[in-house]
Amino acid sequence: MYIQCTQKLREKMGLMERDLISGKDYQQYPSSLRAWHGNLIEYNEKQSVVLINDETRYGVLLFGMKDKEFKKIDGLILEGIRVALEMEGVRPEVIEEYLQEEKGIFYGKTKNRSTVAKLNSTTRNLHMSHRALEEDRIIQRNLSRLESRYPVEHGGYPYALMLLNLHAFDPYRKKSVVETPLYQLKIQLDLKGHEVYRRVAVPGLFTFRQLHRIIMMVFDWHETHLHFFEIEKENGESIRILMDDDPETLECFNEEAHQIMMDKTTLLQDVFPRHNLVKYTYDLGDHWVHKIELEQITMANQLEGEYLGGMGDRPPEDVGGESGFKEYLEVIRDEEHSDHERMKIWGESQKEKPRDSQRINQRIRWIF
């Protein structure tokens, strides 16, 4: 691997002229795919290293680098790239062939001003992707794949370009370099007397924040209320998966009473299939509980979710929970009721729109 460092990064690493190479062995494709540029930046008020791939503009961040980490930066760079590719679902043997860890890392100077400008552009995208930051990790699991979904000049997306070019390092020449577990989930609204569910397929590498957004889409909830996930453990204890960037949600739960995890960083594969049932509650007032059941696991060649179908319509948003929904139905069914017309008009704005599988899947495709 060849890392072309800015002067700021070279000085921080203590690299001298004698430590640098020209990089002539990394000028021709596919060796050029192993060439990256690196810079020292401040990210979320902490010293960090940003890397971008020369060919694809794919970005990787090493967060919160202290002096002791710079002494082992070779290993951190390789691990950072490895984890980023694993989170894209790239097959292990492709990653091994690409990294060639046994050959180590070589360093050089930045190529030209144009490349430095691209490095700065990727840095801006990383700052815009800050919601995926895991502050307790140097190696970021989710940041690269969010940043790489921003389009670059002249069209294309860094993640797609990276996956396309990694075919050059596939020892088995398969159709796709991606192979990742796909979870088929049945999401059933816990509503007495009504059969309301949606079935989806979601990559195990998705976060619970992404699953939350998918639930919003397939049920057409308005996403105007708090939510949380809950897992009941065999010993009677429970795990709560919360939005850590919403102070109101955090205030609602006692960290001593529950094991707390964060939805923007917890992956589905961190929970499934060890637990086959997860509860999701939307709107802490109306308290709509959804039971999420893992039905089966298959393998997929792309990192995308899919809406598979469903049954029944959800209650109108803000109807007042199960009791309010029962009252709403009584009024709607009684055309002579004094509130019938008012409730009918109100319900039109709050109830679920007709389900359109194609439209839903178009939205899910860009869930990042």
8 Å CB contact between 123 and 35:
no
**Is the domain covering 2-169 a CATH 3.30.420 domain?**
yes
What's the pLDDT at 155? 75
> Which amino acid, residue 170?
D
What's the pLDDT at 255? 65
Q: Is 199 helix (H, G, I), strand (E, B) or coil?
A: strand
What's the pLDDT at 234? 80
What's the pLDDT at 92? 98
Backbone angles phi, psi at 132, to 5 degrees: -90, 0
What's the pLDDT at 209? 96
Q: H helices of 30-112, where?
A: 67-70, 73-87, 92-99
Mean pLDDT of the chain: 94
What's the pLDDT at 311? 98
8 Å CB contact between 31 and 25:
yes
Q: Which helix (H) or strand (E) holds 270?
A: none
Q: Is 348 helix (H, G, I), strand (E, B) or coil?
A: helix
8 Å CB contact between 5 and 39:
yes
What's the pLDDT at 235? 80
- Nearest residue to 181 via CA among 275, 308, 58, 91: 91
What's the pLDDT at 245? 65
What's the pLDDT at 22? 94
The string of pLDDT tens digits covering residues 336-364 is 999 999 999 999 999 999 999 999 999 99
The string of pLDDT tens digits covering residues 144-178 is 999 999 999 877 999 999 999 999 999 999 999 99
What's the pLDDT at 131? 87
73-102: buried (b, 16+ CB within 10 Å) or exposed (e) per residue?
Answer: bbebbbbbbbbbbebbbbbeebbeebbeee
> Which amino acid, residue 266?
T
The string of pLDDT tens digits covering residues 88-107 is 999 999 999 999 988 899 99
Its CATH class, for the domain covering 180-314+352-365, is: alpha beta
Cα–Cα distance between 1 and 74 in angstroms, integer? Answer: 10
pTM score of the predicted model? 0.92
Cα–Cα distance between 95 and 104 in angstroms, integer? Answer: 14
Q: Which residues of the chain have pLDDT under 70?
A: 245-257
Q: How many helices (H) and strands (E) does the chain have?
A: 12, 13
What's the pLDDT at 153? 82
8 Å CB contact between 167 and 177:
yes
43 forms beta bridges with: 46
Domains of the chain: which residue ranges?
2-169, 180-314+352-365
Burial class from Cβ neighbours inside 10 Å (0-12, 13-18, 19+) for residue 212 reads buried
Crossing angle for the helix pair 340-350 and 321-333, to the nearest 10 degrees? 130
